[in-house]
Chain A
Amino acid sequence: MLDYGLTEEQQMIRDLARKVSLEKVLPKRAEWDETGEFPWEALKAYAAADLCGLYIPEELGGMGQSEFNFCLATEEISRVCGGVGVTFAASALGSVPILLFGTDEQKKKYMPDIAAGKKLAAFGLTEANAGSDAAGMETTAKKDGDYYILNGTKQWITNGGEAETYSVIAISDKSKGPRGASAFILEKGMPGFTFGKKENKMGIRCSATRELVFQDCKVHKSQLLGKEGAGFIVAMKTLDMTRPGIGAQAVGIAQGALDEALKYARERVQFGKPISSIQAIQHILADMATQVEAARALVYACARMVDAGAKDITLPASQAKLFASDVAMKVTIDAIQVLGGYGYMKEYPVEKMARDAKITQIYEGTNQIQRNQIALSLIKELASSKK
């Protein structure tokens, strides 16, 4: 592994996240994958280890607002289970809107419990008819005195039903187009806010993916995040911040598959020798390791840029998410190949890793959308440098 110059604290975070994952998640991951049981047990262990507030400032009960430290933990958790990894990371996705746009009051009300791991958060943007094209959303927030009345259904919301705190985007003024959306903080249990069906998924099966249903849900204006009309800005700035986390999840899944493939190749004997001595296998392993390291380097560099206070991280965040998730897909499929028929079986973990990897190419913006974004950023940069 490259030397990334981790501080002593960062090494501690990495080692602790690994230790907790190996002790609390590894023995359960196959069962949770099979049953879809939500991994509360694991989340409680991460909470007890002080790992839930790595991206949250100390004054709000966190461990110091570090994107990099959050990525380190997400990577190590995902290395053992991608489903637990996304559950951990989606709480950040739901919290970042509050951290970026919340008032002091909102932050003090919601962040300490999330930092302590007592509560989870979730982020509701997607709808049945609004995926990549988020602007096509149909959930409305109609102003009524000091309140907004929400109606509509959000779809495929990670941590839906399990989280207590929800950052939700809805249309507050259709006539204003992209400036007509607003972001709100909702709490589980508010009248008019219920949960719809829980999805049965290909991978990350222990994570909860569920509908949020709003029927005349009355939300006080104090729950508005940022200004009225800032909904899409909240969403886009949030995703810029969290895409490196998806990159870290992808790197973790890929590293987990590489670990398994290496170990297996040294043990599996065919033609009278371990298959790790066959050059064809060595080359697969070499490519896997090189790709994982390149993805990690990109994710870490991007996370460090965030921590250094960079204003515009859209381009590197998209690149990190795109590259790492494509690497995760390729490396996990290669790991199955190294394990041969055993890799295809559920007794070994690599088929699950490949199923888990696939989602990283889809959520928080599909990889096609990332490429659109990257190209757009490049063209904009060139145009502005010519001025």
Chain B
Amino acid sequence: MDIIVCIKQVPDTTEVRINPETNTLIREGVPSIVNPFDENAVEAALQLKEKHGGKVTVITMGPPQAAEALKTTIAMGADEVVLVSDRAFAGSDTWATSYTLSQTIKKLGHYDLILCGKQAIDGDTAQVGPGIAEWLNIPQVTFVSKVEINGATAKVERMLEEVNEIVACPLPAVLTVVKQMNEPRLPSLKGMMRAKKAEVKMMNAAQIEGDPKNLGLNGSPTSVVRIFTPKAKGNGEILTGEPAEIVDKLLGKLKERKTI
């Protein structure tokens, strides 16, 4: 089975700092890593390959230095990696990014399954995976914690807030995975040596035959107007006593504030 995994290179910190003037991430001095959820996606792909055979291709849209992130996945065991890189992609929002990745996937040929991380830890939108499915017009299942392949269908478990949901879905499809799905493997020495020599296939805007009106900043219908840290909420008050007492106190307070 041929699997495509979409990954993103992100800054290695959950405390991303933001430049207040440009509203963009300050990336200088912050080491880059593969988005953690995407590592779960790579691991899931490798496990499926081990079980069913086939090929794992990892792709990313990003600047030239994102090749490093791709090489990390070769060290884990990915077969091929593709870097989609072009100045024309600069400033892409989730619309343009998912379009660019879907165009790349179309050019790569046959695939049975596309895996993405649930979301990227820098932007946190969780939109790119579903976006790719829409552009390709194939099914999508989000928040996946388990997958089983039976011929041309996938039996998929989704981890929702209260319950787990099991759904069946025809292939090809896009799945976005949660971290509970697996524990990503560490690289191996042979993998690292392979990664050192591995060729990163490069593709640009012309090669993916991207429609300019969907690419980069100009092709992005959304723009970030402002980023700010929300004010911390004031301290809450905890009401104590018997349930009936608490309800009385609560009603009193709500009336006092004219909430009810």
Q: Do A and B bind each other?
A: yes
Q: Which A residues fall within an 8 A CB radius of B? A: 8-9, 12-13, 16, 19-20, 23, 45, 48-51, 63
Q: A12-B196, A49-B189, A50-B190 are in contact. List 6 more A-B contacts (CB 8 A).
A: A13-B189, A16-B186, A16-B187, A16-B188, A19-B187, A50-B189
* Complex Cα spacing A63 to B192, Å: 13
Is B185 part of the contact surface with A, judged by Cβ < 8 Å?
Answer: yes
Contacting A at CB under 8 A, from B181-202, are 185-193, 196
Check if A16 sits within 8 Å of B189, measured CB to CB.
Answer: yes
Check if B189 sits within 8 Å of A12, measured CB to CB.
Answer: yes
Using Cβ atoms and an 8 Å threshold, which residues of chain A touch B192?
12, 16
Using Cβ atoms and an 8 Å threshold, which residues of chain A touch B193?
9, 12
Q: Which one, B185, B189, B191, B196, contacts A51 given CB within 8 A?
A: B189
* Complex Cα spacing A49 to B187, Å: 6
Check if A49 sits within 8 Å of B196, measured CB to CB.
Answer: no
Check if A48 sits within 8 Å of B190, measured CB to CB.
Answer: no
The B interface is mostly helix, strand or loop, or mixed, namely: helix
CB within 8 Å: A-B pair count: 31
Q: List 13 A-B contacts (CB under 8 A).
A: A12-B193, A12-B196, A16-B186, A16-B188, A16-B189, A19-B186, A45-B186, A48-B185, A48-B186, A49-B187, A49-B188, A50-B189, A63-B189
* Complex Cα spacing A19 to B191, Å: 15
* Complex Cα spacing A221 to B187, Å: 42
In the complex, the chain A residue whose C-beta lies closest to that of B195 is A12
The A interface is mostly helix, strand or loop, or mixed, namely: helix
Using Cβ atoms and an 8 Å threshold, which residues of chain B touch A19?
186-187
Q: Which B residues fall within an 8 A CB radius of A? A: 185-193, 196
Using Cβ atoms and an 8 Å threshold, which residues of chain A touch B190?
50, 63
B198 to chain A, nearest CB (A): 14
In the complex, the chain A residue whose C-beta lies closest to that of B189 is A50
Check if B196 sits within 8 Å of A8, measured CB to CB.
Answer: yes
Using Cβ atoms and an 8 Å threshold, which residues of chain B touch A23?
186
- What are the 10 closest A-B residue pairs judged by CB atoms, nearest first? A50-B189, A50-B188, A50-B190, A49-B188, A12-B192, A20-B186, A16-B189, A49-B186, A49-B189, A48-B188
A294 to chain B, nearest CB (A): 29
Using Cβ atoms and an 8 Å threshold, which residues of chain B touch A48?
185-186, 188
A22 to chain B, nearest CB (A): 10
* Complex Cα spacing A50 to B186, Å: 11
B213 to chain A, nearest CB (A): 44
A63 to chain B, nearest CB (A): 6
In the complex, the chain A residue whose C-beta lies closest to that of B196 is A8
In the complex, the chain B residue whose C-beta lies closest to that of A9 is B193
In the complex, the chain A residue whose C-beta lies closest to that of B185 is A48
A39 to chain B, nearest CB (A): 16
Using Cβ atoms and an 8 Å threshold, which residues of chain A touch B187?
16, 19, 49
* Complex Cα spacing A293 to B205, Å: 52
Using Cβ atoms and an 8 Å threshold, which residues of chain A touch B186?
16, 19-20, 23, 45, 48-49
B192 to chain A, nearest CB (A): 5
A4 to chain B, nearest CB (A): 19
* Complex Cα spacing A300 to B173, Å: 53
Using Cβ atoms and an 8 Å threshold, which residues of chain B touch A13?
189
A42 to chain B, nearest CB (A): 12
A130 to chain B, nearest CB (A): 39
* Complex Cα spacing A51 to B193, Å: 13
* Complex Cα spacing A49 to B191, Å: 9
B3 to chain A, nearest CB (A): 21
Using Cβ atoms and an 8 Å threshold, which residues of chain A touch B188?
16, 48-50
* Complex Cα spacing A45 to B185, Å: 9
* Complex Cα spacing A20 to B191, Å: 14
Using Cβ atoms and an 8 Å threshold, which residues of chain B touch A63?
189-190
In the complex, the chain B residue whose C-beta lies closest to that of A15 is B192
A25 to chain B, nearest CB (A): 12
Using Cβ atoms and an 8 Å threshold, which residues of chain A touch B196?
8, 12
In the complex, the chain B residue whose C-beta lies closest to that of A54 is B189
In the complex, the chain B residue whose C-beta lies closest to that of A8 is B196
In the complex, the chain A residue whose C-beta lies closest to that of B190 is A50
Using Cβ atoms and an 8 Å threshold, which residues of chain B touch A50?
188-191
In the complex, the chain B residue whose C-beta lies closest to that of A51 is B189
In the complex, the chain B residue whose C-beta lies closest to that of A17 is B189
B194 to chain A, nearest CB (A): 11
* Complex Cα spacing A9 to B197, Å: 12
Output the residue of B185, B186, B191 with the most chain A CB within 10 A: B186
* Complex Cα spacing A23 to B186, Å: 9
* Complex Cα spacing A118 to B59, Å: 33
* Complex Cα spacing A8 to B192, Å: 11
A137 to chain B, nearest CB (A): 38
* Complex Cα spacing A12 to B189, Å: 7
In the complex, the chain B residue whose C-beta lies closest to that of A45 is B186
* Complex Cα spacing A19 to B188, Å: 11
In the complex, the chain B residue whose C-beta lies closest to that of A19 is B186
* Complex Cα spacing A23 to B185, Å: 11
In the complex, the chain B residue whose C-beta lies closest to that of A50 is B189
* Complex Cα spacing A19 to B185, Å: 12
* Complex Cα spacing A63 to B189, Å: 9
Output the residue of B186, B188, B189, B190 with the most chain A CB within 10 A: B189
Using Cβ atoms and an 8 Å threshold, which residues of chain B touch A51?
189
* Complex Cα spacing A49 to B188, Å: 4
* Complex Cα spacing A15 to B153, Å: 41
Using Cβ atoms and an 8 Å threshold, which residues of chain A touch B185?
48
* Complex Cα spacing A49 to B185, Å: 9
* Complex Cα spacing A344 to B116, Å: 48
In the complex, the chain A residue whose C-beta lies closest to that of B192 is A12
B189 to chain A, nearest CB (A): 4
